[in-house]
């Protein structure tokens, strides 16, 4: 645990120091951009993995995947996110690095596949900062700035359980929390007699939900597919959550910050459904996933947002991992990954769906017998320049520490 503590401490310190400056204005709509992969392993395989059962990784997409957890595990990491955003007239590059939270997994009973997993993870991200230079005869030149910061995090705690016929089931209790602030400000030139001002809308979210998942047994055995080592299907479902938000509307004026109004609103986050297939062939693990979330049901303060439509994502991934690890050299223990995905994001702006296509790659380096440091890279293209929209080239680089140790073992005297 001492070793874990050191790593987590380093991650936290660095993550605190690293801050963001701007991002996609698409995140202004709804709850912002969603995170699907919290670990470099998932990112390296196309960000999903609903049907993958891991014994040495924690997969938050499907609680059933914890049923084969071998050791107590801690996973934490950071993601660097670069975004080259281009409109028809200009482009800009933003970058940010975020702490991807942490997960703790405890195997309780191997025979029944009972594992307890908990964590704190980023769920959505709002980060944009747009400034326009304006002028008129009355006031002279001035700047208008529209910015948004924040996002939701998800804390969860859940259990997995092995059903008869080696089916695995899992469920987690999810608690969403976080603050999103949208700010609009005007700044006149220093020689102007007009005074600057800004409006801010703060939403402090909190709400509960749950996620259930199911992963089948090895269907290859049932189907007597001898060349295939492992074949599974999995499904996951997160319920439609009601997320309340305390709202504060402030103005920054000549007499200081004024609270214009405070209140509560309710946000309805649509259910999320995922289905996947995993196939182990020799040293290769293939995964295909589908994710669906009907954002046309998303409401904020009982109002639907025209800019949000149903989200769909398809991803394919492959992982190369030499079996019988202990008999190989260090480089033969390195795990390689690749993937691609196509996503119809939840954004539908100016009558145009904002789609994204991305390719992924990654690898893991062993850190001892049960721990790895995982790296993943993603390059994606999102959106279009048509209809006054933005096209984004997205670069993500993720590092995750996945640390395994034996805990709770009684020492024999």
Partner 1 sequence: MNKFLLKHKQIFIYLILTLFLVACNNDPTSVGSELLQDVNKIKLNEFNTQKENVKLSSNTFKKKITLGVSDKLILGKNSYIESYILLSFNIYLADSIVTKIKDNKLRVAETWMDMKVKYSLGDKNLPFDFTVHQVRKNWGSDAFNYDSLKILNYDANDVSYSRSITDTLVKFNLAPNTVFEWLKYSVDTTLAPPNYGLLFKPTSATQRLLGFKGYQLNNDPDVPTLYIVLEQPSVFKDTILVSPYMDIHVVNGADVYSLNDIVLEGGLGYKGFLFFDLSSLPKNIIISKATLELNVDSLKSFDGSPSSDSIIVKVLKDSISKSYTSDSSYYAILSRNGNTFSGDISWMVQKWVSGQEDNQGLELSLADEKSSAARIWIYGSKQSEALRPRLKIYYLNK
Residues 28-57 that bind partner 1 (CB under 8 A): 28
Exactly one of 78, 121, 168, 277 binds partner 1 (CB under 8 A); that residue is: 78
Pick 222 or 258: Cβ nearer partner 1: 258
Pick 19 or 407: Cβ nearer partner 1: 19
Exactly one of 1, 9, 12, 14 binds partner 1 (CB under 8 A); that residue is: 14
Buried b (16+ CB within 10 A) or exposed e, 143-176: eeeebbbbbbbbbbebbbbbbeebbbbbbbebbb
Residue 104 within binding range of partner 1, rule CB under 8 A: no
Distance CA 294, CA 304 (A): 12
Pick 116 or 373: Cβ nearer partner 1: 373
Kindly list the distances between the CA atom of residue 395 and the CA atoms of 94, 292, 360, in Å, as whole numbers in the listed order.
10, 24, 10
> With CB under 8 A as the contact rule, which of the stretches 38-46, 91-99, 265-273, 293-301 interacts with partner 1?
91-99
Residue 89's Cβ-count burial label (10 Å; 0-12, 13-18, 19+) is: exposed
Exactly one of 16, 331, 410, 411 binds partner 1 (CB under 8 A); that residue is: 331
Residue 197 within binding range of partner 1, rule CB under 8 A: yes
Exactly one of 70, 71, 80, 405 binds partner 1 (CB under 8 A); that residue is: 80
Residue 94 within binding range of partner 1, rule CB under 8 A: yes
Residues 340-379 that bind partner 1 (CB under 8 A): 349-350, 365, 367-368, 373
CB 203, min distance to partner 1, A: 14
Pick 223 or 258: Cβ nearer partner 1: 258
> Residue 194 half-sphere exposure, CB side, CA atoms within 13 Å?
15
> With CB under 8 A as the contact rule, which of the stretches 19-27, 155-163, 167-175, 288-296 interacts with partner 1?
19-27
DSSP 3-state of 15: helix
Pick 104 or 334: Cβ nearer partner 1: 334
Pick 246 or 292: Cβ nearer partner 1: 246
Residues 247-266 that bind partner 1 (CB under 8 A): 249, 251-255, 258, 260-261
Pick 255 or 409: Cβ nearer partner 1: 255
Q: In DSSP terms, which residues pair with 173 in a beta bridge?
A: 157, 210
> Residue 203 half-sphere exposure, CB side, CA atoms within 13 Å?
26
Q: Are 160 and 203 contacting, i.e. CB atoms less than 8 angstroms apart?
A: no
Pick 193 or 327: Cβ nearer partner 1: 193
> With CB under 8 A as the contact rule, which of the stretches 3-11, 36-44, 163-171, 336-344 interacts with partner 1?
3-11
> With CB under 8 A as the contact rule, which of the stretches 116-124, 132-140, 207-215, 224-232 interacts with partner 1?
132-140
Q: What is the DSSP track for 189-226? A: -TT-SSPPEEEEEEEEEEEEEEEEEEE---HHHHTT-T
Pick 145 or 239: Cβ nearer partner 1: 145
Reading the block at residue 174, the tokens are: 């999810």
DSSP H helical ranges for 205-297: 219-222
Site string for partner 1, 138-177 (x = CB under 8 A): xx----xxxx------------------------------
Pick 294 or 366: Cβ nearer partner 1: 366
Q: Are 38 and 47 contacting, i.e. CB atoms less than 8 angstroms apart?
A: no
CB 149, min distance to partner 1, A: 12
Residues 283-302 that bind partner 1 (CB under 8 A): none
Residues 108-127 that bind partner 1 (CB under 8 A): none
Q: Are 94 and 72 contacting, i.e. CB atoms less than 8 angstroms apart?
A: no
Distance CA 103, CA 46 (A): 20
């Amino acid at each position: 645990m001492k070793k874990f503590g050191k790593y987590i401490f380093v991650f936290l310190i660095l993550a605190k120091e690293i801050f963001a400056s701007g991002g996609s204005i698409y995140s202004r709509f709804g709850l912002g951009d969603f995170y699907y992969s919290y670990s470099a392993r998932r990112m390296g395989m196309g960000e999903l993995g609903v049907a993958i059962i891991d014994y040495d990784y924690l997969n938050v997409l499907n609680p059933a995947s914890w049923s084969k957890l071998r050791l107590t595990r801690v996973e934490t990491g950071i993601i660097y996110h670069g975004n080259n955003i281009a409109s028809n007239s200009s482009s800009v590059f933003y970058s940010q690095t975020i702490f991807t939270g942490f997960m703790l997994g405890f195997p309780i009973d191997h025979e029944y596949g009972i594992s307890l997993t908990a964590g704190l993870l980023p769920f959505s991200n709002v980060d944009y900062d747009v400034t326009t230079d304006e002028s008129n005869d009355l006031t002279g030149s001035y700047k208008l700035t529209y910015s948004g910061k924040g996002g939701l995090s998800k804390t969860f705690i859940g259990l997995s359980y092995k059903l008869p016929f080696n089916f695995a089931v899992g469920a987690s209790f999810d608690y969403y929390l976080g603050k999103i602030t949208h700010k609009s400000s005007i700044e006149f030139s220093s020689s102007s007699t007009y005074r600057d001002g800004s409006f801010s809308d703060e939403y402090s979210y909190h709400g509960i939900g749950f996620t259930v998942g199911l992963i089948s047994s090895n269907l290859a055995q049932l189907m007597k597919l001898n060349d295939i080592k492992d074949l599974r299907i999995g499904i996951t479902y997160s319920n439609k959550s009601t997320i309340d938000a305390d709202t504060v509307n402030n103005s920054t004026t000549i007499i200081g910050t004024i609270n214009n109004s405070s209140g509560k609103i309710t946000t309805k986050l649509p259910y999320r459904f995922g289905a996947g297939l995993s196939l182990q062939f020799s040293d290769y693990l293939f995964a295909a996933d589908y994710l669906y979330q009907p954002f046309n049901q998303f409401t904020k303060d009982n109002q639907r947002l025209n800019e949000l439509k149903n989200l769909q994502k398809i991803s394919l991934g492959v992982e190369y991992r030499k079996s019988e690890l202990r008999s190989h050299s260090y480089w033969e223990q390195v795990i390689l990954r690749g993937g691609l995905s196509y996503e119809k994001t939840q954004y539908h702006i100016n009558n145009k769906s904002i789609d994204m296509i991305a390719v992924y790659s990654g690898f893991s380096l062993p850190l001892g017998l049960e721990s790895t440091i995982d790296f993943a890279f993603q390059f994606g293209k999102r959106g279009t320049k048509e209809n006054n929209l933005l096209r984004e080239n997205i670069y993500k680089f993720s590092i995750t520490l996945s640390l395994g140790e034996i805990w709770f073992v009684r020492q024999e005297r």
